[in-house]
Amino acid sequence: MPSPFPTPALRPRRELVAWRNAIFVIFTLSGLSIATWAARLPEIKTNLDVTTGSIGILILGMSAGSILGLMASAWIMARFGARTGMVMSLGCVALGLVLIGVGAGVVFSPVLVFIGLALFGFGNGSVDVMMNVEGAAAETELGKTVLPLMHACFSLGTVIGAGIGAAASALRIGVVWHASAMAVIIAVAVIVAVRFVPVREELGDDTPTHSHKLDWKARLRANLAVWADLRLILIGVIMLGMAFAEGSANDWLALAAVEGHGQSEPTGAIVFGVFVSAMTVGRVVGGPLIDRFGRVLVLQVSAVSAIIGLLVFILGGDLWIVLIGTVLWGLGAALGFPLGMSAAAEGKNAAARVSAVAMIGYLAFLVGPPLIGLLGDQIGLLHALYVVLVLVILSGLASPAARETRRAPVDKA
């Protein structure tokens, strides 16, 4: 199947590779931050002595922060540029992690954890748009499918973070020390990485001949105009379901393994690690499969895998059955978000289109965690995951909207 990308050659190959690698790093840092929180969730719940429903309310702080970050991302890029914006966003993530660690490991304050999660969510929500906009642009100029591999770096970050979290839990390292160390790593690494991201006027970056301060309002108005595209909304529906499948695992999988299947807290962290490992594998091998079979078929197969995996995880009893369901769930959820980003990047005003579908997808992170938590208090956490199943089915039904619209030979140079 021919590539959907136009012939690229806008920058020297060395600069393109450095740009791609810098975005790899930023995706990895975002994943590392998510897993730092998720892997220690059972211990945070124990330390704060709160119910599952209360944890859902706390996560609402992160979810609301994520939505605000998504909404603010267009303004941040228009006003400050993507390079500065990514540093600001991951700086918020680092600060949020420190507050979560202090709130859950020193002062045992749900209020402080809520504030930390709000900052954490804001930073991750805003950087999610910016790194995907940069990733989609780099993908277009490289002329081959690389966004799934970039999202694999996010998953790799979650694998690393889950492993560190499991080890920290097993070694009884306090949440505050664990979270603070990760915060320092994230803050330093993003400052280094953005040095290799090119300055681009269309994203609001200052250049010697252009200042974004003069026209950021006009750029913002143009960004909002893309919401009239029905195909873009349907792509957002795909991402909504797959983001729900991924995000619900990030927030609840470890706790569901502990409370729903009677596993220990370190085992819960390992189950989460299996999920993110499966997602990483799916994203690493996804690019060639997409180029061979197309987005629609890959999305449909992914939805079927996620549906089967969710059912096996929910209904399974023995640990090995739970792990099989976890693997299928992770493989199924792996490609929906990056494929949605690639589809959205086709057409004029790609940055605004990517930003718009990311906002739709992130609705899952606003509605999902508190909904599953509150339902979990009433019907059990495992049964609450049936909500995820319904949204994944809708995502599969909407998959034709992601069909490739542009075809041209790839520049092999």
113-158 tens-digit pLDDT = 999 999 999 999 899 888 988 888 888 788 777 888 888 888 788 8
Residue 413's pLDDT is: 34
Is the predicted pLDDT of residue 242 greater than 60, yes or no?
A: yes
* 401 or 99, higher pLDDT: 99
Say how many CA atoms lie within 13 Å of 106 toward its Cβ: 13
User: pLDDT for 281-292, tens place per residue?
Assistant: 898 888 788 878
Of 250 and 313, the structure prediction assigns the larger pLDDT to 313
Q: What pLDDT band is residue 5 in, cutting at 50, 70 and 90?
A: low
Q: State the residue for tokens 């702080």.
A: 61
pLDDT top residue among 203 and 77? 77
Q: What integer pLDDT is reported at residue 410 of this predicted model?
A: 38
Q: How far is it, in rounded angstroms, from Cα 174 to Cα 108?
A: 12
Question: How do residues 322-379 score in pLDDT, each as one tens digit?
Answer: 899 999 999 999 888 888 888 887 767 666 777 778 777 777 766 776 788 788 888 8
Is residue 369 within 8 A of residue 56, CB to CB? The reply is yes
Q: What is the pLDDT of residue 251?
A: 77
The mean pLDDT of 389-396, rounded to a whole number, is: 92
Q: What is the DSSP letter of 210?
A: B
Residue 94 to residues 18, 36, 124, 127, 358: CA-CA distances in angstroms?
Answer: 24, 11, 10, 12, 22
pLDDT band at residue 306 using 50, 70 and 90 as cut-offs: very high
Q: Residue 408's pLDDT is what?
A: 40
DSSP helix/strand/coil, 309 = helix
Phi, psi of 20 (to 5 degrees): -55, -45
Pair of tokens at residue 252: 């609840």
The reported pLDDT for the residue numbered 11 is 76
- Of 342, 253, 249, 242, nearest in space to 302 by CA: 242
pLDDT at 194: 93
Q: What CATH superfamily classification does 13-200+223-399 receive?
A: MFS general substrate transporter like domains (1.20.1250.20)
- Please tell me the predicted confidence (pLDDT) of residue 86: 95
Could you list the beta-strand ranges (E) of 180-290: none
Lowest mean pLDDT among 59-68, 175-184, 204-213: 204-213
Return d(Cα 306, Cα 329) in angstroms, integer.
4
Lowest-pLDDT range of 83-87, 175-179, 224-228, 230-234? 224-228
- Average pLDDT of span 194-208: 69
Mean pLDDT, the chain, integer: 83
Instruction: Give the H/E segment covering residue 48.
Output: helix 41-48
Q: How confident is the model at residue 40 (pLDDT cuts 50, 70, 90)?
A: confident
Query: If DSSP codes are grouped into helix, strand and coil, which group holds residue 146?
Result: coil
Residue-level pLDDT at 412: 37
Q: How far is CA 389 from CA 167, 246, 296, 308, in A?
A: 31, 12, 19, 9
**C-alpha–C-alpha distance, residues 337 and 239, integer Å:** 5
Place 218 in a pLDDT band, splitting at 50, 70 and 90. Answer: low
pLDDT score at 411: 40
pLDDT at 367: 72
SS3 per residue for 327-396: HHHHHHHCCHHHHHHHHHCCCCCHHHHHHHHHHHHCHHHHHHHHHHHHHHHHHCHHHHCHHHHHHHHHHH
Report the pLDDT value the prediction gives residue 203, as an integer from 0 to 100: 58
pLDDT digits (tens, 9 = 90+) for 6-39: 444 467 888 888 999 999 999 999 999 988 988 8
pLDDT value of residue 219: 61
Tokens of 268: 């819960």
pLDDT recorded at residue 409: 38
Q: pLDDT over 90 for what percent of the chain? A: 29
- 153, 284 contact by CB (below 8 A): no
Enter the tokens of residue 134: 């940069």
Which tokens in the block code for residue 20? Answer: 């791609």
Residue given tokens 């197969």 in the structure block:
301
Residue 41: per-residue pLDDT: 86
Q: What is the pLDDT of residue 88?
A: 95
Residue whose entry in the numeric block shows the structure tokens 């606003």? 366
The residues facing 268 across adjacent strands are none
